[in-house]
Chains A and B, each alone.
Chain A
Amino acid sequence: MKTHALILSAALLVFSCTSFPEIRPLEKMRRSDAVLRCTSVYPRKSFRAVHTIDASMPMGKSSSMMGASQVDTKRRTLRAVLVSIEGLTLFDATSTRGVLRVHRAIAPFDDMDFARGLINDVSLVLLAPAGKLEKLGEDSHGRLVCRYAGADGSRLDLIPAVGSSSTLVRVYDPDAVLVRTAEFFDASGPLGLAKKVVLRAPGLVGYELSLSLLGAEPISFHDFATTPMSEN
């Protein structure tokens, strides 16, 4: 019993000691320049894109599909459609500033928690952070970091690429536990989109999504307005 209590106390101590990674202040760089560098992997203009998605799930399971997305950067509206290799639409949903509308979902994609998680993951890859820019600085490796604070106490760190390196996004929950990472490789796609993005959800039931860009093009507000969404 004593041993259990000791382990529990140690575990609590470890968790209570968890804090967001340290960011040292930057003096030389202007705030606007830093933000511009941090968010360079996200197109400024609205766009549509098509990716292949390779998912690695727990227990060694894997799945591949195609994803089409339409992003209105100003209104922070995202429509994401998942398509099976055989061409069947598995999932179709729109998120406007976090409000989700599911247009079509075929099992196992018909679970609302799953839908929310999916849209959050797609948003992380395609939309610049929505939170308030809390800190700018450099991490322990001397890399520029832009830290955004979410309304729920979560934090999102954006570490832009230097030279041929990849851009990193790290999301921490309010307890400073790392819950998502996204790595953007080769930002030479149309509109500066990364040709490959690897998103990871760590943990026992963690997963990895590898997105490869097939194509992208800019769109106008008019395009969004003329694509009414049918409810299936």
Chain B
Amino acid sequence: MSAPTVAGDLRASVRGYLESAAPEAEVRRIAETPSGSDPAVWARLADLGLTGLGVPEDFGGAGAGFAELGVVLEELGRSLLPAPFFSTAVLGVQALLLSGDAAAQAEYLPQVAEGRLRVAVGTVGASTVAAVPGSRGWLLDGLADGVLDGATADLVLVFAAADDGPALFAVPADAAGLSRTPLRTLDLTRRQARVELHATPAVLVGSAGDGGRVAAALLDRALAALAAEQVGGAQRVLEMAVEYARTRYQFGRSIGSFQAVKHRCADMLIDVERARVAADAALAAVDTSAADLPVAARVAGTFCGEAYFAAAASNIQVHGGIGFTWEHPAHLYYRRAKSSQLLFGSPGEHREELMRQLGH
């Protein structure tokens, strides 16, 4: 079987599941539950082999690369299904793999593949955690902000500063001194939490002093994965706008026949096509361990984030009055687009980092 067929089958099966099990009403229902996710849906994603998609086969996963992860993320970006896929199956799995810690991988990854362990990772810059060696292992103090699905995860991974430099630590949900506060979020379909640690016992993951390398590599992968999700969302809002422009009549004509509207839709298409090649290049750079990955990831990070937000805003504009009602789904994408544009640094920060990566 050729690779495109595998990807095509994966896309068809994920889209089929999401369209039947997670229509807009279900997305809204889950988003409004106290936890913001549905354990039954997560179990189903595990049954479909999705929670372990990026987990190596030795640990009970599918051992898939970012090309396949990208397909699933694109579909999740279309559907906005609130599920801890990005936090657990992308950030959590990749952080454990990058750490090189065989014991931690053997302990946690099979549980992720089985859908029994949800992992959150404190990746965002606003993390000020310090680690000190205690009498019975490491103790963490400090705060990690904006942790995706941080309030509901079974395991929290955080980067903390230690004497040997930054390192990655694992903190179980029931650890002493761990408090997690759900935050108000612009994006209604993806939760974030503030994680506070007060003399919280934690287990070192990987080597002391190796956290800087892990965090940088994880950020590249996070940007590539997020770009795929953004392409899926941007493609969806383009389809919504085109469908509405085709079927909405004013002045005796379909509004999509007016160039002002048609050209707006064409601009969305131009952005989506460019975002797609940017995301594909970043995903491929991960899979081939390209030296160029930090550049490809930031090209995708800046362009896909801006393209998605522009498309989500245009979608509301094409819809007119109905587009800015609570009942219409357009705002769910508008919120997701702006929120994800800011998750791992703003487009301006990505551009500045790009200049540094290019040697300027």
A complexed with B:
no
- Give residues in A with beta carbon < 8 Å to B: none
Which residues of chain B have a CB within 8 Å of any CB of chain A? none
